[in-house]
């Protein structure tokens, strides 16, 4: 009870939630796989209050699980009988600096609000994915989130200049640099980005903003194979000077699931195709974006020329180029429904792997053969950030016992790693990938991670049992 009293003193009684009904939103993750009520939820409203909360927990030896928008898929915020530190009240945008193209925001700011704040200054914050309406920047940084625009802009790590972190004992680490160059010792911010709250609590960040594209060329494209799709990517990058922002792969099984589960969904083409890609090119320079005398937009014309040439060669089978913002949004909605339609079956194994681009087709052929070997009637579901080799592969087995699900997950991870890939591309480790960390991560790397954890959180109170496998 002493720790509860100290938490109340830190944040006020209205911001310390206890009881089944009060903590219910934090008792279940987005997938429904991880369920368990926390002991309490504390909702600080400032960095100073986070510092007090962590100091109290450290003194009492009580574990704390940081949480933001809770849109993760790996169980990283699962906190049964533990204290959840929710950052949802820390939702202020401290500054937008249009000149140096920076935005300073607290950890609880939702991505959509960052997008709106940047757009008000004719700029963009390019980190985006399907959960942008509820995901918060603190969680995005803590998992080093990726999304659909990694191809051009990089993951969350590349979009952050500085962070503010509260350490396990309550000390505040001020790394809020606005510099693009700072070679003064270790790049400490990179320890906390991607650490999933196991080394410290990210409370604020300095984020890069970029020029807003003046025009987009967005299209749904049918290709005969993944290899043909990658050839299309190479041609588009060359033709547009590297302006391809998104290159999203949706095979026929994805399109069928989208049609079945999303009201009002439509086929992307007049006839079905096995391999569909949504491509988007963003033009920043006026010469590529301003309509010509006949009304044509140069970047759209560039994309159409590439598509027409590849269609003549048989490397593109069909294409639909968006002619309005409404058509563009419909194309994006098709892709951003992925999480919603992934978890529609009673049994599933969702994975997030990456393989070298030239082994994407080999991965899919190999895993399907291996899956059939242990569950002949199992189905699968695929969607991919094709341009960076990230495949979200979900298996739908015929039975849901834990050993069988674990065997399928191991099969997917083993296959990816055997092809020179990774068992985790953008979703983080959480709990669901700890076994893969033990099996596949370089043992020296794991030892270094454990040493860092012990140095920064010697009592092991920050998000215990996540990200770093035990000895």
CA dist., res. 36 & res. 79, Å (int) = 7
Among residues 10, 106, 2, the alpha carbon closest in space to that of 54 is found at 10
CA dist., res. 250 & res. 262, Å (int) = 15
Q: Is the pLDDT of residue 142 over 90?
A: yes
pLDDT tens per residue across span 322-334: 999 999 999 999 9
- What residues have CB less than 8 Å from 59, skipping those under 6 apart? 6
pLDDT tens per residue across span 348-403: 999 999 999 999 999 999 999 999 999 999 999 999 999 999 999 999 999 999 99
Cα angle 190-119-121, degrees, rounded to a multiple of 5: 95
Average pLDDT estimate for 145-166: 96
Q: Where are the alpha helices (DSSP H) in 45-110?
A: 47-60
* DSSP codes of every residue in 319-346: EEE--SHHHHHHHHHHHHTHHHHHT-SS
Per the CB < 8 A criterion, the answer to whether 16 and 7 are in contact is: yes
Per the CB < 8 A criterion, the answer to whether 275 and 251 are in contact is: yes
CA dist., res. 228 & res. 383, Å (int) = 17
If you search the block for the tokens 């898929």, which residue do you land on?
A: 73
Grouping H, G, I as helix, E, B as strand and the rest as coil, residue 139 is helix
Per-residue b/e over 231-266, b at no fewer than 16 CB within 10 Å?
Answer: bbbebbbebbeebbbbbbbbbeebbebbeeeeeebe
CA dist., res. 143 & res. 163, Å (int) = 14
Spell out the domains of the chain, with CATH numbers in brackets.
2-88 (3.30.43.10), 93-211 (3.30.465.10), 215-339 (3.30.70.2190), 345-454 (3.30.70.2740)
| pLDDT for residue 255 | 97
Long-range contacts of 22-25 (CB under 8 A, 24+ apart): 23/84, 25/70
When mean pLDDT is compared across 23-32, 59-68, 358-367, 431-440, the lowest value belongs to 23-32
Among residues 228, 414, 84, the alpha carbon closest in space to that of 236 is found at 228
For the chain, give percent helix, strand, coil, nearest 5: 40, 20, 40
pLDDT tens per residue across span 92-106: 999 999 999 999 999
Of the pLDDT bands very low, low, confident and very high (cuts 50, 70, 90), residue 219 is: very high
CA dist., res. 182 & res. 206, Å (int) = 14
């Amino acid at each position: 009870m002493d720790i509860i009293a100290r938490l109340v003193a830190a944040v006020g009684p209205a911001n310390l939630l206890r009881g089944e009904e009060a903590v219910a939103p934090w008792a279940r993750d987005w997938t429904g796989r991880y369920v368990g009520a926390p002991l309490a939820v504390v909702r600080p409203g400032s960095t100073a209050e986070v510092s007090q909360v962590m100091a109290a927990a450290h003194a009492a030896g009580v574990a704390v699980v940081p949480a933001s928008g809770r849109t993760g898929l790996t169980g990283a915020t699962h906190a049964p009988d533990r204290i959840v530190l929710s950052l949802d009240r820390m939702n202020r945008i401290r500054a937008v600096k249009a000149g140096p193209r920076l935005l300073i925001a607290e950890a609880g700011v939702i991505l959509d609000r960052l997008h709106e704040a940047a757009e008000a200054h004719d700029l963009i914050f390019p980190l985006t994915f399907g959960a942008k309406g509820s995901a918060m920047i603190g969680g995005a940084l803590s998992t080093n989130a990726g999304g659909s625009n990694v191809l051009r802009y990089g993951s969350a790590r590349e979009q952050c200049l500085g962070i503010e972190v509260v350490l396990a004992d309550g000390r505040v680490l001020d790394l809020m640099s606005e510099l693009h160059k700072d070679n003064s010792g270790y790049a400490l911010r990179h320890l906390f980005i991607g650490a999933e709250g196991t080394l410290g609590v990210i409370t604020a960040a300095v984020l890069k903003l970029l020029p807003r594209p003046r025009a987009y060329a967005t299209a749904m494209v049918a290709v005969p194979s993944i290899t043909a799709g990658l050839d299309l990517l190479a041609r588009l990058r060359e033709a547009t000077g590297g302006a391809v922002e998104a290159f999203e792969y949706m095979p026929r099984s994805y399109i069928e699931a989208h049609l079945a589960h999303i009201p009002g969904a439509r086929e992307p083409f007049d006839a079905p195709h096995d391999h569909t890609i949504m491509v988007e090119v963003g033009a920043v320079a006026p010469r590529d974006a301003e309509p010509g005398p006949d009304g044509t937009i140069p970047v759209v014309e560039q994309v159409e020329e590439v598509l027409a040439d590849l269609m003549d060669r048989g490397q593109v089978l069909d294409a639909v180029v968006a002619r309005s913002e409404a058509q563009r949004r419909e194309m994006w909605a098709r892709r951003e429904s992925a999480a919603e339609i992934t978890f529609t079956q009673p049994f599933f194994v969702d994975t997030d792997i990456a393989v070298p681009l030239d082994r994407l087709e080999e991965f899919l052929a190999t895993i399907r053969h291996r899956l059939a070997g242990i569950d002949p009637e199992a189905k699968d579901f695929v969607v991919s950030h094709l341009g960076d080799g990230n495949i979200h592969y979900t298996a739908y087995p015929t039975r849901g016992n834990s050993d069988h699900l674990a065997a399928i997950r191991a099969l997917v991870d083993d296959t990816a790693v055997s092809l020179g890939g990774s068992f985790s591309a953008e979703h983080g480790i959480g709990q669901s990938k700890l076994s893969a960390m033990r099996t596949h991560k370089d043992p020296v790397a794991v030892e270094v991670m454990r040493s860092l954890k012990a140095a920064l959180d010697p009592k092991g109170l920050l998000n215990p049992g996540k990200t770093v496998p035990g000895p």
